[in-house]
Amino acid sequence: MRWALRIAVAALCAAGLNAQEKVSFARDIQPLLTRQCIACHQPQSRQADLLLTSYSGFRQGGRKGPAFVAGAPEKSVVVQYLSGEAKPQMPLGGKPLSDQQIDLFRRWIREGAADDSSSAPVELTREPTVYRAAPFITAFAFAPDGKSIAVSGYHEILLVSTEGKLLGRLPGRSMRIHSVAFSPDGATLAAVGGDPAQAGEVQFWDVAGRKLLHSTVTSTDTLFGGALSPDGKLLACGAADKSIRIFEVATGKEVRRMDHHEDWVFATVFGVDGKRLVSVGRDRAAKLMEVATGRFIENVNLLKEPLFAVARHPRRDWVLVGGQERVPYLYRMDRPRAMRIADDSTLIRKFDKLDGPITAVAISPDGSKIAAGAESGDVRVYDAESGNLLGRCSGHEGGIYSVQFTPDGGQVVTGGFDGQLRFYDTAGKLLRSFVPAPVEVSKK
């Protein structure tokens, strides 16, 4: 009887193991690598020649050979070092992983060590953030139909109506979201952000289903300045490692990296036909590149001060830039043939100086107006043709991080340090404002 009971218990245990959910690289393994290992195994340091910012780098391994052998955890270097079987135990100088965490690596390798980071929906268990005060707004974007707005939150994106009603919450991995953009049909939402000094992340969401389709972790710091191509197939963004990254929206895969800047890259924008890209950064340059090859073409502007923001004219290859100099500049992407490179021959118009460094710019949907927001809270609206000042949008408590025109072009909307979305007419009159985050008021 005892022997039979032992067999039954063993069978039940085996059935339980077989019923366990399959380990996911994207959901279970990659977050552990990001939190525990990426500080020492990233492009800037790459200790032991091991790169852990991507599945391909993890698979390739370092000086000790491939990090894992699919199907054989007992032969996998990563398991040996995490468990302490090989010395020194990893993470070096840090708290060892728990037995349960190491077992996740064993199970994942035993199950085939597949990369599901861009081939399957990613499920995150993070609970929505509870807000005691309005979080600052680093990014927002209108849906193409103008009926809803995606707004950055803490570890999430908030979907709200234009009147401030909360429509949905998209909780994700990244602490900060620095850019959001809807696809032309409004079905997909792209977000760019990450965790400071740890990792950058690109997210792609199914808007109607409120589902995270793809999450791609890359770089060793937050990503900035995301922009979708006109056809909605590619997403470009900048990084603190001086690179520009391009991702495929359908799969979430990083398809190109360009290293033409000499400092942080803060913003990107595609040309009208999507074949070229302009990026701006702390190295003072607005750089023009070919998307298909990554080839650097030239600097659009005359270098002056660090640049933080860029926007493109809706119908022309003209770009509006702004930064430390506090002056908005409108440039052509194409330089006159007779002129020499790196002068200001591409300059169309220079606008009046703002009260602080420019952190956000926008061009109206019809191209007739431009708006610029500053670190000081100063927001101004100009006539794009004449350069004349049309209005100043006041009342902000702190810096401005994002400025947008409504899809009909009739209003200017701002977001920034004080956590409010403010709607102005183009003459600068405040029409309404609200806090998009669901702030809980403590009861005394």
Residue 382 in this model has a pLDDT that exceeds 50: yes
What pLDDT, on a 0 to 100 scale, did the predictor assign at position 340? 60
Which residues have CB under 8 Å from 227's CB, separation 6+?
Answer: 179, 181, 235, 236, 237, 267, 268, 269, 270
Farthest-apart Cα atoms in the chain, separation: 96
Residue 42's pLDDT band, with cuts at 50, 70 and 90, is: low
> Which amino acid is present at 377?
G
Q: Is residue 310 a contact partner of residue 269, using CB atoms and an 8 Å limit?
A: yes
Per-residue pLDDT band at 342 (split at 50, 70, 90): low
Q: Encoding tokens for residue 127?
A: 């609970």
| Confidence at residue 12, expressed as pLDDT on a 0 to 100 scale | 36
Contact residues for 4 (Cβ-Cβ < 8 A; gap 6+)? none
Residue ranges per structural domain of the chain: 2-110, 140-434
pLDDT band for position 35 (cuts 50, 70, 90): confident
**pLDDT the model gives residue 377:** 96
Arithmetic mean of pLDDT, 356-368: 98
Rounded to whole angstroms, the Cα distance separating 79 from 106 reads 7
The whole-angstrom distance between residue 444's C-alpha and the CA centroid of its chain comes to 39
- Which ranges constitute the DSSP H helices of 88-139? 99-110
Go through 348-359 and write b for each residue having 16 or more CB atoms within 10 A of its CB, e for each that does not: bbebeebebbbb
Would you place residue 109 in the very low, low, confident or very high pLDDT band (cuts 50, 70, 90)?
very high
What pLDDT shows up at residue 3?
36
> Do residues 131 and 393 lie in contact, with contact meaning Cβ atoms separated by under 8 Å?
no
Q: Which of 117, 225, 215 is nearest to 181 (CA)?
A: 225
Question: What is the tens place of the pLDDT at every residue in 256-281?
Answer: 999 999 999 999 999 999 999 999 99
Lowest mean pLDDT among 214-218, 239-243, 307-311, 416-420: 214-218
Look at 63 and 327; give whichever has higher pLDDT. Answer: 327
Whether the Cβ atoms of residue 402 and residue 421 lie closer than 8 Å to each other: no
Of 265, 223, 226, 220, nearest to 242 by C-alpha is: 265
CATH code of 140-434, in short, is: 2.130.10.10
Rounded Cα gap, residues 312 and 50, in angstroms: 39
- Give the residue-averaged pLDDT of 14-33: 71
The predicted-structure confidence for 219-239, as pLDDT tens digits, reads as follows 878 999 999 999 999 999 999
